[in-house]
Structures are given as C-alpha cells and as structure tokens.
Amino acid sequence: MSMRKKLTILLTVLALLYALTLTAFAAGPNGTLSVQLYSWNQHTYTPASAEVVKLTLNGDPLSGDVPAMIQGGRTLVPVRLVGEALQAQVLWVQQTGQVILTKGEDVIVLTLDSATAIVNGVSTPLPDGVPAQVVGYDGADRTMIPLRFVSETLGAQVEWDQATYTAHLTAELTETAPEAPEEEPETPSQEPEVPADAVRITGMSWSDGTLTIATDQAPNCKVTDLGDRVAIDFLDTVLSEDFTGCTASDTYLSDVRWAQHGADFYPGSDYTVRFVLDLAAGATAAGNLTITTTLTGVSVTTHGASETAPTVSINPQDYAIVIDPGHGGDRPGACYEGIMEKDIDLAVSLKLVSILQNQGFQVIMTRSTDVEIGLYERADLANAAGADVFVSLHSNAAENRPDYQGIYTYYHPSSNRGARLAQAIQTPLCQITGGLDRGIKDADFVVLRETDMCAVLVEMGFMTNHEELMNLTDDSYQQLLAQGIAQGIVDYLTAEAQANA
Ligand SMILES: [Zn+2]
C-alpha cells in the first residue's frame, strides 16, 4: 500500500472519529449536517459531520441553499452567498481551483485546500489553516470559504453568538438602486447597455484548415492551453447582433464552441466572448495549432506536428528564472553517510545558476548560502520577482529501498505548463547524466502550488543508494545535473515561444 493511500485511510478514519465526536458531544443548537468534504487534489470525498450556523447581515437573516457550517473549528460559508451579500465580485478559476473575490481595491485569492490566501498580492495564512474547500451537501457541491477571514478582509465585522450559533455580519453596503414601482410600464430590456467602444465579433469562417474569427477592431485576446482544448477569450467584446457561427473540424480540430460571458467571467472585462477549440485525439495546441492575432480578428491554422512554425530562438534576457535549492540551515533535508541533502541541493543549484547566467538569463535564488527559508517564503519570493520559471532542486531518499536509483521531476496537478516543463527537463537530464528515468509525476508540493509561474521540483537522485549518493556529491556529476536541467529549461522556453509565435 502506498503511503498516500495509507494516509488517506488514516485521515478518513480520523475524520469519521471527529464526526462522531461532533455528533455525540458538540451538537450545536441548530443541529448537525452530514456532508462530504472534497479533496481538490486527490479527487476524493470524505464523509464528515458539520454544525449548522445561522447568519445575519445587518440584522437580517441571510441564507442560501447550503447552510453555513462549522468545520475544523471555523465557520465556512458558501462563497456565492457571502460574496454577493458583501457586494464582492466572485470569480471561479477551474484550472487552478481558485476563487477570486474582488471588492473595490481589495482582491482575495483563495485556493482550494490551501492554508494560504493571497490578499492584495500578499501571501497570508488562513486562521487555523482552515482552507476554502468544496463541500458536498444534499447532492450538490458548493465552494465554501472561511467566513471571518473573508468578511473582515472585505471590511465587514463578524460577531459570534455562541448561545444561538449565529454569526452576525455588519457591513457598510452601497445602496442598490430602488426598484421601479410596480405600476410603471415594464422596460423592454433590463440588460446593461454595451458601451459603443466594445469590440464586436462580426463573423467566423472555416476553410482549408484555417478558422477565422473576425472583429470590427483590433481585439484583446487571451489564449489558454487547456490540454485537450484551447480557450481564446476576447476581452471587452460582444457578439454582434447578426453574428453567425460555423463548424470547424479536421484531423487536428474536433469542434469549436463559443459563448458570451458577463462581468463575472474574466477579471477586468465586462464582456468576454470565449471560443473553445476542442482538439482531436493526439493533437496538441503547441504542436498542431498556430494562433495569430491581427487587427481584424484571430486566425487559427491547423497543421501536422512536422510542419511546425520555423525555429524560434529565445532571448534569455527576457526571462527570469528562480532556482530554489531545497532545505538549508537547521533543516538539512535527508542525511546519509554523513552527507546532508541541503549541501547537494545548493551545490548543484550554484552550478545551474552559473550556466543560466552565462547564457544571459536573469536568475534569482531563494537561497545561495546555508540558511533556512520557509516553503511559502520561497514561493512568495518567486511571485514577487514575477519570474517565468521556478525550479526547485532536491535529493531523494527511500529508507527501506537502498536499491532505488533515479530521477523524478514533479509538477503541480493543476498545471499543464508545469507538466511540459517537467518533461522538458526530465528528458535531457536523464540523457546527459545517464541517471535512471523514473518519469515525471504530479504532486501537491507547497512550492509548486503557491508559485504563480511555471514550476517544477527535480529529485536528482537517491541518497539512500550508495552509488548514486557518490554521484550526487561528485563535482563533475553535479555539473552534468546542472547542464541537463539548464538544457530542459531552454528547451521548454523555446517550445513555448514557438507555440506563441
Ligand atoms: Zn528535499
């Protein structure tokens, strides 16, 4: 049985025990609920019990289809209910499992199952580490957020009444426009007027492997590679009244879809039109599509992988790379035969930094000496630097398997580009060093999850294997490790530049 599986079972048992305890000893005056706690990273549900909490807003009862509840000692509330009650804009980002609440100047980013929020760009621990999470109740899943943290960050006050298990919210709200008296004739349309300067999509066509989406002026587009599909978002854009669509499919493209979205879709864009291009089996956006934005729209051309656009060479000065040597200071990491992981990680990192700097990249290190640095601090530093790529270097250990050797590269499960970078590094790294290729793997490591940029973590070899440990401490092998990783970073950036060319 894997450690993860064992842990999952243990956690399930603990959760059940906790649920029983709640039911038996701590039932609040409003009763308890049977809920399912969803793990965003493991895609599993764990049954639990939660106490029902009543809510009021400026004295009036506030309720939705899923009640507020106490879980892990903190009051959780449905994000839509409280977001809307406090007049915050709520945006859900499926790819990253994030909820973004915006009110005036304040922006809170909550990541599912993460104990850290980002408040106005600053990483902030959540009280008691209770994260935003998906809770299943009565057949529906709801994203629940910590009430007090979010409310107070958005300028509301929360008072807790233990006797009635009620959270009283007090907030200064903007007066909503008074409703029109009933006797007045109904206005024909309640829809907000589209500003005259909005971009309009006037049509689309498909011929000979080229999809053309036409606009009446230069569009502002965001392209997102979603793996088996590509999203093209046209910001501040509406479909014109006489817009007619078309179908598009060939060997590389299986379908195209589009939809008009409002202000809650893309931050800062009141009207967004999203086109989704579904890729045919085996096709990739990077390998088989060329997307070009012009003054009069967007064109997407499909092609075989062999005919990819001409080689693009990158300008290293345009890229900032963060190199993160694992551990440090009082946290040595693994320790075998008197050798400490922190020292190997730093030695290879310094060699890697020197190669990258010689190539002209801007390189930032989370540590360049033997000091201790927190995992969240490492991510914060990379985020603050606005880096393009984050590479963390570690050395592995398998206490009971001294025969284990080889190299892994990890990426976060929510990141497609992370997976691409991981593979881009893993291949040359194993080739150049001759290390055993144990493949790329996804993992919910803090430094992968909390970094905004493309991030990977390389486990360069097993310290528990004597032969590999000797390699890891060998100066010329360390140089090969650094070369392999540097090669992978350059390959990845070149491929991305090519895909966007
Ligand atoms: Zn480590």
pLDDT digits (tens, 9 = 90+) for 438-492: 999 999 999 999 999 999 999 999 999 999 999 999 999 999 999 999 999 999 9
Give Rg (Cα) of the chain: 26
Q: Which strands form 116-119's sheet, in the order they lie side by side?
A: 89-93, 98-103, 106-111, 116-119, 122-125
Could you tell me the distance, in angstroms and rounded to a whole number, from the CA of residue 443 to the centre of ligand 1?
Answer: 14
Could you tell me the distance, in angstroms and rounded to a whole number, from the CA of residue 454 to the centre of ligand 1?
Answer: 19
Q: Report pLDDT for 192.
A: 52
Tell me: pLDDT of 433 over 60. yes
Q: Report pLDDT for 218.
A: 75
Start-to-end CA distance of the chain, whole Å, equals: 46
Which H or E run includes 480? helix 475-500
Summarised one tens digit per residue, pLDDT across range 231-268 is: 898 988 999 888 988 999 999 999 999 988 887 777 77
Which H or E run includes 429? helix 416-433
| Residue 11: pLDDT band with limits 50, 70, 90 | low
Residue 337, classified by CB atoms within 10 Å of its CB into exposed (0-12), middle (13-18) or buried (19+), is exposed
Q: Which of 459, 467, 468, 496 is catalytic?
A: 459
Could you tell me the distance, in angstroms and rounded to a whole number, from the CA of residue 111 to the centre of ligand 1?
Answer: 24
**CB 199: neighbour CB atoms within 10 A?**
21
Please confirm, yes or no, whether 459 is among the known catalytic residues: yes
> Which percentage of the chain shows pLDDT scores above 70?
88
Tokens at 302, concatenated: 């499909």
| Residue 12: pLDDT band with limits 50, 70, 90 | low
Contact yes or no for 460/395 (Cβ under 8 A): yes
- The residue-averaged pLDDT of 208-237 equals 86
d(CA 322, CA 314) in angstroms, rounded, equals 18
Could you tell me the distance, in angstroms and rounded to a whole number, from the CA of residue 406 to the centre of ligand 1?
Answer: 15
Q: How far is CA 117 from the centre of its chain?
A: 12
Could you tell me the distance, in angstroms and rounded to a whole number, from the CA of residue 385 to the centre of ligand 1?
Answer: 23
Q: Which strands form 220-225's sheet, in the order they lie side by side?
A: 220-225, 229-235, 272-279, 253-261
Tell me: pLDDT of 123 over 60. yes
**CB 124: neighbour CB atoms within 10 A?**
15
d(CA 355, CA 321) in angstroms, rounded, equals 12
Contact yes or no for 347/341 (Cβ under 8 A): no
SS (H, E, C) 278-301: EECCCCCHHHHEEEEEECCEEEEE
Could you tell me the distance, in angstroms and rounded to a whole number, from the CA of residue 455 to the centre of ligand 1?
Answer: 16
Could you tell me the distance, in angstroms and rounded to a whole number, from the CA of residue 426 to the centre of ligand 1?
Answer: 17
* pTM of this structure: 0.43
C-alpha dihedral sign at 471, 477, 482, 486: negative
Which pairing describes strands 407-411 and 437-442: parallel, antiparallel, or unpaired?
parallel
Residues by chain with Cβ below 5 Å of ion ligand 1: 326, 333, 394
Contact yes or no for 456/392 (Cβ under 8 A): yes
Q: Report pLDDT for 313.
A: 75
Tell me: pLDDT of 339 over 80. yes
